[in-house]
């Protein structure tokens, strides 16, 4: 064996086994979430004390489980996943038997029920175009499927399932095609085959590592969500130092979260740093972008501010304040998003308590030189 053969052999072993591990993790996550949705639905229909919990069932369940991967949001998605894809039932037991070690007695009481649900759903969908359940589990990650849940038109959803499987799309590519109205454009196109060929040529393919980087996978494996986000060494170092810089100012900054996750329309976003300012009595949201300023950056931060106003802000809090740091290696810009700050007294107080644009600009420039 020469060195070239050694490289090829090691690469092949790594690639094949990495794909198998990723596939097993993904199928385990998908199967688990479908089963959770099934259990919740069964309790809602047949639970002895279901009336006691009512609409609060999922929240009560999340509180009792007390696990990040079994949060209220994730349990709610599992329930929606079960109702959207009942046909998967006939494949769940097969997946458990073939891919995972488990005591057959653990699922024996519901085995026939799962098969019956799957067969019934398949029968009801017999006259509709449908991707085989085993293909859904083996070819699409749970993150792909979550993106498809809001699509209420069965034909449209199946269209994206098929195109995603055929094109081996990444999650980002699937999201891009949904947002670009690929389904609608295909229907309007005189030659949809040509449009499909163009899409296939430009599409971003799925990589094995994409599954591991999924937020749902990280939660499933008990890893920290921030590890999904903080991949840029420069960004991570800047955030580390910025966090210390603001705390050292001593103007009332209390660190509340790093890479704070917020859910908007079934999609997770991350706010780089969240402080609560005890003097101003408001949240201070900081977003860092290693790039030039764009209106999209400001729009995203403004979305975070509106989310905090609607979902987090207490009655005696002032509106949240946003600081956007936008930089590349040759230029630094600092933008404040102060929408809603129409109280002059508060604004003047805010100008004293928060670091100035000049201070922040000097900090970033200094850090960039050192890094």
DSSP characters over 297-340 = HHHHHHHHHHHIIIII--TTPPPPEEEEEEE-SS-EEEEEE-TT
Q: In Å, how far are 26, 28, 32, 167 from 220, measured between CA atoms? A: 10, 9, 9, 26
Q: Residue 217: inside a domain, yes or no?
A: no
Highest mean pLDDT among 102-106, 150-154, 342-346: 150-154
Rounded Cα distance, 243 and 259, in Å: 12
Strand, coil or helix: 255: strand
The last residue of a domain, from among 212, 240, 260:
212
Between 254 and 206, the higher pLDDT residue: 254
What does the pLDDT read at residue 230?
47
pLDDT in tens, 237-259: 777 787 777 777 667 888 888 88
What does the pLDDT read at residue 360?
82
Contact 169, 204 (CB under 8 A): yes
Q: What order of strands is seen across the sheet that includes strand 253-264? A: 253-264, 267-277, 282-289, 321-327, 332-337
Q: Residue 218: inside a domain, yes or no?
A: no
Domain of residue 66, residue span: 3-212
Query: Is the domain of 91 the same as that of 167?
Result: yes
Q: Residue 220: inside a domain, yes or no?
A: no
Strand partners, 215: none
Q: Residue 219: inside a domain, yes or no?
A: no
pTM for this model (two decimals): 0.64
Which residues are CB-neighbours of 150 under 8 A, at least 6 positions away?
265, 266
Q: Residue 296: inside a domain, yes or no?
A: yes
Q: Residue 181: inside a domain, yes or no?
A: yes
pLDDT-based confidence at residue 122 (cuts at 50, 70, 90) = low
The helix (run of H) or strand (run of E) holding residue 276 is strand 267-277
- What is the residue-averaged pLDDT of the chain? 78
Query: Is the domain of 26 the same as that of 143?
Result: yes
Between 367 and 227, the higher pLDDT residue: 367
Strands 253-264 and 267-277: antiparallel
pLDDT-based confidence at residue 223 (cuts at 50, 70, 90) = low
Query: Is the domain of 181 the same as that of 81?
Result: yes
Strand partners, 261: 270
pLDDT-based confidence at residue 111 (cuts at 50, 70, 90) = low
Query: Is the domain of 181 the same as that of 239?
Result: no
Q: Residue 160: inside a domain, yes or no?
A: yes
Query: Is the domain of 50 the same as that of 146?
Result: yes
Query: Is the domain of 198 the same as that of 239?
Result: no
Query: Is the domain of 293 the same as that of 255?
Result: yes
Contact 234, 371 (CB under 8 A): yes
What does the pLDDT read at residue 34?
92
pLDDT in tens, 263-285: 887 777 888 889 898 888 889 89
What does the pLDDT read at residue 338?
58
Between 325 and 221, the higher pLDDT residue: 325
Q: Residue 86: inside a domain, yes or no?
A: yes
Query: Is the domain of 61 the same as that of 143?
Result: yes
Rounded Cα distance, 27 and 134, in Å: 10
Residue 145 has pLDDT above 60, yes or no: yes
Average pLDDT of the residues in 279-297 = 83
Average pLDDT of the residues in 55-65 = 90
Lowest mean pLDDT among 138-152, 218-232, 345-359: 218-232
Residue 303's CATH number: 3.40.1350
The last residue of a domain, from among 212, 234, 269:
212
pLDDT-based confidence at residue 346 (cuts at 50, 70, 90) = low
Residue 157 has pLDDT above 90, yes or no: yes
Query: Is the domain of 251 the same as that of 346?
Result: yes
DSSP-derived letter for residue 67 is -
The last residue of a domain, from among 212, 238, 255:
212
Phi, psi of 329 (to 5 degrees): -75, -10
Query: Is the domain of 153 the same as that of 201?
Result: yes
Q: Which residue has the tokens 């991570």?
A: 236
Number of domains in the chain: 2
Strands 253-264 and 332-337: unpaired
Query: Is the domain of 159 the same as that of 243?
Result: no
Average pLDDT of the residues in 144-160 = 92
Query: Is the domain of 201 the same as that of 230?
Result: no
């Amino acid at each position: 064996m020469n060195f070239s053969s050694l490289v090829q052999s090691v690469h092949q072993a790594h690639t094949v086994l990495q794909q198998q591990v990723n596939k097993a993790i993904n199928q385990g996550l998908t199967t688990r979430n479908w089963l959770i949705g099934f259990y919740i639905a069964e309790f809602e229909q047949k639970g002895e004390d279901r009336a006691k919990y009512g609409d609060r069932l999922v929240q009560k369940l999340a509180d009792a489980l007390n696990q990040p991967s079994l949060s209220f949001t994730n349990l709610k998605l599992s329930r929606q996943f079960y109702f959207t894809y009942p046909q998967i039932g006939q494949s769940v037991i097969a997946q458990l038997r073939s891919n995972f070690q488990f005591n057959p007695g653990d699922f024996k009481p519901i085995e026939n029920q799962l098969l019956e649900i799957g067969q019934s759903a398949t029968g009801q969908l017999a006259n509709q175009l449908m991707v085989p359940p085993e293909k859904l589990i083996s070819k699409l990650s749970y993150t792909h499927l979550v993106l498809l849940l809001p699509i209420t038109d069965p034909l449209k959803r199946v269209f994206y399932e098929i195109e995603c499987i055929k094109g081996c799309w990444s999650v980002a590519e699937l999201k891009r095609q949904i947002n670009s109205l690929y389904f609608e454009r295909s229907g309007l196109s005189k030659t949809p085959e040509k449009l499909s060929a163009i899409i296939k040529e430009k599409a971003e393919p799925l990589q094995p590592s994409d599954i591991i980087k999924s937020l749902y996978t990280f939660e499933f494996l008990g890893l920290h969500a921030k590890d999904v986000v903080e991949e840029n060494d420069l960004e991570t170092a800047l955030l580390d130092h910025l966090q210390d810089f603001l705390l050292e100012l001593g103007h009332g900054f209390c660190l509340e979260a790093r890479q704070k996750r917020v859910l908007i329309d079934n999609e997770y976003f991350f706010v780089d740093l969240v402080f609560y300012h005890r003097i101003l009595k408001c949240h201070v949201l900081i977003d860092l972008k290693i790039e030039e300023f764009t209106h999209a950056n400001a729009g995203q931060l403004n979305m975070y501010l509106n989310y905090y106003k609607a979902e987090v802000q207490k009655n005696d809090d002032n509106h949240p304040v946003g600081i956007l740091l936008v930089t590349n290696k040759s230029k630094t810009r600092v933008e404040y998003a102060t929408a809603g700050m129409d109280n002059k007294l508060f604004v003047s107080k805010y100008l004293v308590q928060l670091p100035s644009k000049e201070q922040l600009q000097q900090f970033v420039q200094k850090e960039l030189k050192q890094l």
